[in-house]
Amino acid sequence: MRTLRDAAADADVHIGAAVDVESLRTNTDYRETVAREFDAVTAENAMKWGPLADGESGYDFAAADDIVDFAARHDMYVRGHTLVWHRMYPEWVRPWARSDTEMRRLLSDHIHTVAGRYRGRVDAWDVVNEAVDDDGGLRENAWLNALGPEYIDRAFEHAAAVSDADLFYNDYGADGLSAKADEVYDLVSDLVAREVPVDGVGLQLHVFDDVVPPADVAANVERLTDLGLDVHITELDVGIGEAVADRDEQAEYYYDVVSAAVDAGVDTVVTWGVDDGQSWLPARGFGDAPLLFDEEFRRKPAHGAVLDALGE
């Protein structure tokens, strides 16, 4: 039977999934599904600062290494996620108790340590995640407080110094045409104009309250690629509930949005998880059963829809 991976290879794009390391280690169905159907992976949590370095004793790369090793064994593209984020960094960072100089040094050390370790093994990094505030402007966070807006430049420069991966800015709510998408566009345009080493933009595309019109996604992708940037769909999932009523509508939307994105120039599409049994969306009340496989790893209509979208 034709897999997503086959279709992606023919279309010369990557199709990926965010993976959970425990499931990869212990669940055979999960592991086999990922290896068979996808040619790209993102660590759902294992490469975030908190999971990497929860204790003050230093970094523990065992989980992240397992994902990178699995990807290498199966000849997969690896999206590293994420170096700088306002969430899920270790408690010991304690921004409220540190000088701006210490924060500047921590940012640099962290990026050098992690991006440096995976040089040659991670193909793309989400260097900065979710830096734009929903109400406009830059989101207030520990890095903005300590370094000001230049923390974004520094993050990309540190990553470029130690990594040969493509370097991405990644965000949510900036997928189609919206005020936030305009802000992200302005942010990355400015980075490009000032020759900050950014290579691409990740559009998360979590869909649960309203569908994002596929034509708007295409228009947004086109204006970003016109800046010379690569565009990935990085965290796609479509919750059943408010946005789509059932599995068939879900499949239809997957087809429409993946076709539109790929036609507009997206070369990598990653779903935020593998099976409906393990997804962050339902746990947060953001819609049900959002992925391409059901909880028993059976292919859903959405799987066929993505297969068709890649096949054209």
Distance, CA of 283 to CA of 279 (rounded, Å): 7
44 near ligand XIL, rule: CB under 6 A: yes
130: annotated active-site residue: yes
Catalytic residue among 37, 44, 130, 183: 130
Smallest gap from Cβ 167 to ligand XIL, in A, equals 16
State the minimum distance, in angstroms, from the CB of residue 280 to ligand XIL: 4
> Of 129 and 220, which CB lies nearer to ligand XIL in the complex structure?
129
**Could you say whether residue 45 binds ligand XIL (CB under 6 A)?**
yes
Which residue number is nearest to ligand XIL in terms of Cβ?
280
CB of residue 239 vs ligand XIL: minimum separation in angstroms? 13
Question: Cis omega before residue 42 (within 30°)?
Answer: no
**What is the pattern of x (binds ligand XIL, CB under 6 A) and - over residues 184-223?**
--------------------x-------------------
- Segment (H or E) for 202: strand 200-203
- Enter the DSSP assignment of 197: -
Nearer to ligand XIL, 44 or 275 (CB): 44
150 has catalytic annotation: no
Q: Does residue number 129 form part of the binding site for ligand XIL (CB under 6 A)?
A: yes
Residues linked to residue 42 through DSSP beta bridges, in sequence order: 18, 79
CA pair distance 228, 189, nearest whole angstrom: 10
Q: Which helix (H) or strand (E) holds 231?
A: strand 230-238
Which helix H or strand E contains 180, and what residues bound it? helix 179-193
The DSSP secondary-structure symbol of 252 reads: H
> How many CA atoms within 13 Å lie on the side-chain side of 307?
15
Residues that bind ligand XIL (CB under 6 A): 44-45, 129, 172, 204, 235, 280
